Amino acid sequence: MRQKSLVIGLLVVLAFLVSGFTYAFWASGIAADTANATGTITVGSGDEVAATINVTNQTGGTLVPTGFEDDVTTFDTIVLNFEVDLDSAGLDASGLVSTLTASVVSAVNGTPVSVLSLLDIVITYPDGQSLTSDGDSITVTVTITLPEPANVTEYNLVAGEDIVITFLFSTTAVNS
């Protein structure tokens, strides 16, 4: 009886190990679903793509609240444009129409502490949200402003800090 329990236990452990390796093998065959990019995002195979942008490095200046900018080294608005296209990646999905969604995942200072609630970030799709695989790209425009901090604590979270914002771009196939 004890030997039978030992055999059953070993079979359960073996099944667990094999299923673990099977999952790991499957996951290793999938292309990366995230990528860091500046300005150009290609969403392939309907995967989600993350773009991490250092706002200070993009502008060459400093983001400040409206009324405090000098238009030389400080700015009250930063506009980022992403050209986004959908690549069928040889999966015979050319011409597939999808809806593009862009969102903000996070915004952190150098500590890193979240400062997302201190920023106004507006994402617009001037060309619409419809995206065709292997078709023309569309421009996603991101406008970032910094309202005046409400108190010294909020000010200290952003003053002199590089702000790194991560965006997520994803597509959803449109049913025909």
- Dump pLDDT digits (tens) for 17-48: 444 443 333 333 333 333 344 454 444 445 66
Q: Which residues of 116-136 are buried (b: 16+ CB within 10 A; e: fewer)?
A: eebbebeeebeeeeebbbeee
**What predicted TM-score, i.e. pTM, was given to this entire model?**
0.67
Mean of per-residue pLDDT scores for the chain: 73
* Six-digit token string for 110: 């150098």
Give per-residue pLDDT as tens, 142-174: 998 889 989 999 888 988 888 888 888 888 878
Under the banding of pLDDT at 50, 70 and 90, the label for residue 90 is low
Q: Please name the residue that has the structure tokens 């930063």.
A: 78
Give the pLDDT score at 48: 67
